[in-house]
Amino acid sequence: MPRHTHIAPYSGPAGGWGSAKSVTKYMAEQGVMGRGGPILAKQNKPDGFACVSCAWAKPVPPHTAEFCENGAKATFWELTNKRTTPAFFAEHTITELQSWSDHDLEDAGRLTTPMRYNPATDKYEAVGWETAFATIGRELAEIREQDPRRVVFYTSGRASLETAYMFQLLARLYGNNNLPDSSNMCHESTSVGLKESIGVPVGTVTLEDFDHADALFFFGQNVGSNSPRMLHQLQEASDRGATIVSFNPLCERGLERFINPQNPVQMLTGSETTISREYHQVRPGGDIAVVIGMCRYLFEEDRRSGGVLDHAFLAEHTQGMDAFRDFVMAQSWVDLERESGLSRASIEGAAKIYASAKAAMVVYGMGITQHKLGVQAVQMLVNLLLLRGNIGRLGAGICPVRGHSNVQGQRTVGIAEKPELVPLDKLEELYQFTAPREKGTSTVEACEGIIDGSIDAFVGLGGNFLRAVPDHSRMEKAWPNMRLTVQIATKLNRNHLFNGKTAFLLPCLGRIEKDRQASGEQTVTIEDSTAVIRKSKAMAEPASPDLRSEPCIVAGIAKATLPPNPNVPWDAWVGDYGLVRDAIAKTWPDTFADFNRRMHEPHGFRRPIAASSRKWATPSGKALFKLPKSLNASFDDGTDPNVLRLITLRSNDQFNTTVYGYSDRFRGIEGTRDVLLMNEKDMARFGIADGQTIGLSTATDDNVERSLGGLRVVKYNIPEGSCAGYYPECNVLIPLWQHAEESMVPAAKSVPVRIMR
Ligand SMILES: Nc1nc2c(c(=O)[nH]1)N[C@H]1C(S)=C(S)[C@@H](COP(=O)(O)OP(=O)(O)OC[C@H]3O[C@@H](n4cnc5c(=O)[nH]c(N)nc54)[C@H](O)[C@@H]3O)O[C@H]1N2
Ligand SMILES: Nc1nc2c(c(=O)[nH]1)N[C@H]1C(S)=C(S)[C@@H](COP(=O)(O)OP(=O)(O)OC[C@H]3O[C@@H](n4cnc5c(=O)[nH]c(N)nc54)[C@H](O)[C@@H]3O)O[C@H]1N2
Ligand SMILES: [Mo]
C-alpha cells in the first residue's frame, strides 16, 4: 500500500489528543473495536494483565486507566483479528516474504498452527505438535551427543517467570549455559556496571521515590515513546515543584511537555505540563564528559563553601572517592566541552540543580548503555549519585528503565549466560544432574558462533534475534548454515524467513490470552523495572485453538530431547504453573519465599535489593567509585570530519523490531522510516539538501563492506557531527565487534558512518 509521506516539525505535546486518536486508529485497524476497550480497562490493574509493552512499574492504586498509547497498541497488536494460517503460507514462498517489510510481516496477523519449513517448495507447511517435538528432540539429542555447547537458547524479554525458569532448566539439563537474552543488547551494561559499583544488577528506586525526589536527571531515555506511563510520575513530580533535567542529543517531546490524555481538564483546556526545566543536547557518547564536569563543579563548590558532598556517607559507605576526585580535577574544561558538546555553563547549571536537591534520582536508558563505554557511563551516573549520598534513601537512587515487560525478571530466575549468577549447586540438588559450569554465549558471542560455524542450532523463545542484532548481511548469510532453528513466536517476523536445514515455527499464546491447563486457567508472574513481582491474569480467548502455551512448548521440547529425569516434573508443571513457582521458591528461597501467596497481593512484592537499603554486596562491602577510560564513550575519536556518529532510534510507532506503523508523531516524521536526521551545518558542509536521498557506509577498517542506501535526509535539530536513523533498518551498519567493552551490548548509539551519494 503506498504511504503518504509527510515530514514537518511537530508542535504539540506528548500525550494529548494525538495520543487518543492514535489509540482509536489502531483499535480499528486491528479489528478489535468492541473487545479492545474492556480489555484495556484491565491493563496493569491488580486483577488484570501486565501490559506486554514496557517494563515500567504499575502503581497501586492504579490510575483510572493505567495504560498509554503504546501499551494500547501492543495490546491490539496481540489481540488482532488477522491470522497467518497455513493457507497464508501456502500462498507465499519464503523468498517472496523476504521482500516484505517488518511491518507487513507482523501485520499479516497471529500465527495459528505449528509450521515446518520445506526447502523443496520454499514454503512453511503445517505440522502436528507431536511430530514437531519429536523431530526437534531427535536433532537436539544428536547434537548433544557430539557437543552440547553447539546449541543456543535465546530469550526475548517477554516470557513469564514460569516459562523463563523452565527454559533455563532445559538449557542446563541439555548441558550448556548458552542463554543469551534481549538484555544482552540492552541493559546488560547496567547489570555489569551497577553490580560492580553498588553490588546489585538492577535499579534501586521504587515508585514511592518519585513522590519525594526534588530533582530527576534523565540521560538517554525517551520516556514519551518507550515508557509513557512514567509520564504520570513525572507530571506529578513537576506539579510538586521537582526539577527535571534531560540530557539527550534529540529534543524528545515526552521529555519536554505532556498533556495527560486521561486528564479531562488538561485535554479540554490544552494546558500542558512542562517536564524538563533544562534540556541539554549532549553529543552522542558525551555523557561521561557531562558527569565528570558536574562532579568537577561539586568538588570545587564543596572546597569553596562546604556542605555540597555528603562526607559522612562517603566515609562510611564508599571506596575510591579520592582517586575519582583526582581524576575529575585533572580533566580540562576544554576537553569536557569538546567531548560533551555542551558549554561549561550548562554543565555547571545542571550541577547546581543537583547540588541544591535534597533527594535526586538519575533515570537512564539506551543512550547510556549502547556505547563502547556503556558500562563506564553507567558507573559515572553512580559516582554522581554517591557524592551526595543519593542512593538508598527516600526520593533518591538510580533508575535504569528496562525494556521488555519481564526482561529483568528472566535474569532473576536464571536466564543468564554467566554461570556465577545462577545457583547451579541448588539446581543440581533439586534435579539430580551435573550442571554445566562453563560460561555460555552472550548475544554477540552467539552471533560470532553462528558466523564461525561453532553453533549448530538456535532455539528462540520469542523475539526477532536476527533483526535485533548487528551486522545483518553477515548474519543473514551465516544463519541458514545451522542444522536446526526453532522459533517460538506469536507473529511472523523476518528472523523466521531465515532457516536452518531443519526449521520450525511454533505458535504460542500471548500473555493476554487465557491459558487453560489440567488444573484450570493459569496465572503467570513478571517483574517490573523497580523489582516488583506480581501476577498477570489473562482475559482474551486464544487466537487459535491450536496454540500452545510457552511452558507447554518448552516442556514439549525438553521431554523429546532429554533422557527422562524423575526429578523434573515437566507434565505436572505444565498442568499447574503454581508448581513451577514452588520450584522457583525452592531455588531462591530468600527472594521467592511464599511465592504462590505473595503474587496475589495487590502490590505484588518487591524482591530485596540490597543497595536500596545501603547494603553493598561488593567484595569490599562498600559502594565503589569507578574511573572511566576515556571521556568519549564511542568508538570513533571524533577527529575525522567525514565521519558522523549515527544514533539508531526507536520511533513512537514501533516496539523494537515490531513496526506498528509509520508515524513518528513527536518527531514529525510520517509515512516513512527510511530517513536520516542530520544537522543543518553538516548538510551544508557535505552539500546535501533537505529531502535528498543518500546512503551510509560504516567507517571501519575491518574489510567488511557495510552500507545502507535510500535514506531521505531530514534537516533536524541534532548535534553537529551526529546523525540518526531507525533501528532495525540501520543495524546492517553496526559491526558485530563494536560493542560495550565489559557487557558486550552492541554500540547502537554511536555507529561511525560516512555519507555516500
Ligand atoms: N513503545 C515502545 N516502548 C518500548 C520499546 C519500543 O521499541 N517501543 N522498547 C523497549 C525496550 S526493549 C527498551 S530497552 C526501552 C528503550 O527505551 P530507551 O532507553 O528510551 O531507548 P531508545 O529509544 O533506543 O533511545 C533512548 C534515547 O537515547 C538518546 N540518545 C542516543 N544517544 C545518546 C547519548 O549518547 N547520550 C544520551 N544522553 N542520549 C542518547 C536518543 O535520542 C533516545 O531519545 O524501551 C522499551 N519500551
Ligand atoms: N540498532 C539497534 N539495535 C537494537 C536496539 C537499538 O536500540 N538499536 N535495541 C536492542 C534492544 S534494547 C532489544 S531489547 C532488542 C530486542 O530484541 P528482541 O526481543 O529479539 O526483538 P523484538 O522485536 O522485541 O521481538 C518481536 C517478536 O517477538 C515475538 N513475540 C511477541 N510476543 C511474544 C510472546 O508473548 N511470546 C513469544 N514467544 N514471542 C512473542 C513476535 O513474533 C515478534 O515478532 O533489540 C536490540 N537491538
Ligand atoms: Mo531492550
Q: 359 pairs with which residues across the strands?
A: none
From residue 102, alpha-carbon distances to 657, 662, 667, 727 in Å are: 7, 11, 21, 11
d(CA 499, CA 94): 10
- Tell me the mean pLDDT in the region 701-717: 96
The answer to whether the beta carbons of residues 547 and 508 sit under 8 Å apart is: yes
CB of 488 within 6 A of ligand 2: the answer is yes
| 223 Cα nearest atom in ligand 1 | 20
* Assigned CATH for 188-401: 3.40.228.10
Q: Which residues contact 64 (CB under 8 A, 6 or more apart)?
A: 262
**Cα–Cα nearest to 351, from 400, 275, 290:** 290
CB of 494 within 6 A of ligand 2: the answer is no
Return the ligand number nearest the Cα of 365: 1
Q: 219 pairs with which residues across the strands?
A: 247, 364
Return the ligand number nearest the Cα of 339: 1
Res 1 pLDDT > 60: no
CA of 658 to the centre of ligand 2 (A): 7
**pLDDT category, 269, cuts 50, 70, 90?**
confident
The answer to whether the beta carbons of residues 679 and 716 sit under 8 Å apart is: yes
d(CA 459, CA 557): 10
The answer to whether the beta carbons of residues 418 and 203 sit under 8 Å apart is: no
Say if residue 160 is exposed, middle or buried (CB neighbours under 10 Å; 0-12, 13-18, 19+).
buried
Quote the cell numbers at residue 595: 511465592
DSSP 8-state code for residue 689: -
d(CA 338, CA 340): 6
Amino acid at 262: Q
Supply the residue whose CA is at minimum distance from atom 45 of ligand 2: 468
Give the model confidence (pLDDT) of 114-142 as tens digits.
999 999 999 999 999 999 999 999 999 99
Give the model confidence (pLDDT) of 430-479 as tens digits.
999 999 999 999 999 999 999 999 999 999 999 999 999 999 999 999 99
Listed residues: CB within 5 A of ion ligand 3:
186, 403
CA of 411 to the centre of ligand 3 (A): 13
* pLDDT score, position 630: 98
CA of 727 to the centre of ligand 2 (A): 11
**pLDDT category, 100, cuts 50, 70, 90?**
very high
d(CA 658, CA 527): 22
| 187 Cα nearest atom in ligand 2 | 12
Supply the residue whose CA is at minimum distance from atom 31 of ligand 2: 490
CA of 655 to the centre of ligand 3 (A): 10
**pLDDT category, 531, cuts 50, 70, 90?**
very high
**pLDDT category, 23, cuts 50, 70, 90?**
confident
| 401 Cα nearest atom in ligand 1 | 19
Q: What b/e readout covers 35-48, taking b as 16+ CB neighbours within 10 angstroms?
A: bbeebbebbbbbeb
The fold adopted by the segment(s) 100-186+408-599 is: Rossmann fold (3.40.50)
Quote the cell numbers at residue 233: 510520575
Return the ligand number nearest the Cα of 655: 1
Extract the runs of DSSP E, i.e. beta strands, from 264-344: 273-274, 278-280, 318-319
Supply the residue whose CA is at minimum distance from atom 47 of ligand 2: 468
Give me the architecture of the 644-756 domain, per CATH: Beta Barrel (2.40)
The answer to whether the beta carbons of residues 723 and 753 sit under 8 Å apart is: yes
Quote the pTM value: 0.97
* pLDDT score, position 258: 80
**Cα–Cα nearest to 79, from 513, 464, 693:** 513
CA of 183 to the centre of ligand 2 (A): 10
* pLDDT score, position 159: 97
The answer to whether the beta carbons of residues 385 and 421 sit under 8 Å apart is: no
Q: What are phi and psi of 232, to 5 degrees?
A: -60, -50
Q: What is the mean pLDDT of the chain?
A: 95
CA of 465 to the centre of ligand 2 (A): 7
* pLDDT score, position 64: 77
Q: What are phi and psi of 736, to 5 degrees?
A: -55, -35
d(CA 661, CA 25): 11
CA of 317 to the centre of ligand 2 (A): 39
Q: Is 733 helix (H, G, I), strand (E, B) or coil?
A: helix
**pLDDT category, 604, cuts 50, 70, 90?**
very high
**How is the chain split into domains, by residue range?**
100-186+408-599, 188-401, 644-756
**pLDDT category, 2, cuts 50, 70, 90?**
low
Res 264 pLDDT > 80: no
Q: Is 216 helix (H, G, I), strand (E, B) or coil?
A: strand
Give the model confidence (pLDDT) of 404-436 as tens digits.
999 999 999 999 999 999 999 999 999 999 999
Signed CA dihedral, 581, 587, 593, 598: sign only = negative
Supply the residue whose CA is at minimum distance from atom 25 of ligand 2: 463
Give the model confidence (pLDDT) of 49-82 as tens digits.
999 999 999 988 888 778 888 999 999 999 999 9
Return the ligand number nearest the Cα of 227: 1
Supply the residue whose CA is at minimum distance from atom 11 of ligand 1: 403
**pLDDT category, 633, cuts 50, 70, 90?**
very high
Q: What are phi and psi of 108, to 5 degrees?
A: -65, -20
Res 495 pLDDT > 90: yes
Give the model confidence (pLDDT) of 743-753 as tens digits.
999 999 999 99
Res 325 pLDDT > 70: yes
* pLDDT score, position 41: 87
CA of 400 to the centre of ligand 3 (A): 11
Higher-scoring residue by pLDDT: 568, 4 = 568
In degrees, to the nearest 5, what angle opens at C-alpha 94 toward C-alphas 90 and 100?
Answer: 105
* pLDDT score, position 220: 97
| 157 Cα nearest atom in ligand 1 | 12
Q: DSSP of 477-527, one letter per residue? A: HHGGGSSEEEEEESB--GGGGS--SEEEEEEB--TTB--EETTEE-EEEEE
Q: What b/e readout covers 503-518, taking b as 16+ CB neighbours within 10 angstroms?
A: bbbbbbbbbbbebeee
Number of neighbours of residue 332 by Cβ within 10 angstroms: 9
d(CA 308, CA 295): 11
